[in-house]
Structure formats: C-alpha cells, structure tokens
Amino acid sequence: FMSLHPGDVISTGTPPGVGMGMKPPRYLKAGDTVELGIHGLGAQRQTFKADI
C-alpha cells in the first residue's frame, strides 16, 4: 500500500493470467462485471453491454 496525493498518476501493466494468454483466449463480454475499489475511498462497478 502507498499514499496517493493530488496529481499522482497510477500506471499499471498487464498482470499474468489475463484472458488473451488463456487457451482458448477469454475476453470480457456483454453481461460481465468488473469491480474495483480503494479501501477508505470507495468502489466502482462496470457491467459490459453489447455494442449498439
């Protein structure tokens, strides 16, 4: 854990085990939900929808 301050930029890479590296590849699809959060700050949830 580390403290973040105004103006800090968070840059992440691709973690091991991502869908592209699976056999067969596995990607996010309509109906999948991704949730992330920061303790003490909040959380957000995104549900993927099909292209319109």
User: How is 33-51 classified by DSSP, letter by letter?
Assistant: EEEEEETTTEEEEEE----
Residue ranges per structural domain of the chain: 19-48
Alpha-carbon span 33 to 48, nearest angstrom: 6
What percent of the chain stands above pLDDT 90? Answer: 31
Average pLDDT over residues 27-46: 90
- Banded pLDDT at 47 (limits 50, 70, 90): very high
Question: Is a pLDDT exceeding 90 seen at residue 33?
Answer: yes
Residue 10 in this model has a pLDDT that exceeds 90: no
CA distances, 37 to each of 4, 24, 45 (Å) = 14, 29, 9
The residue type of 46 is: Q
| Residues ≥6 apart with Cβ < 8 Å to 36 | 43, 44
What was the pLDDT predicted at 42? 92
CA angle 47-23-11, nearest 5°?
50
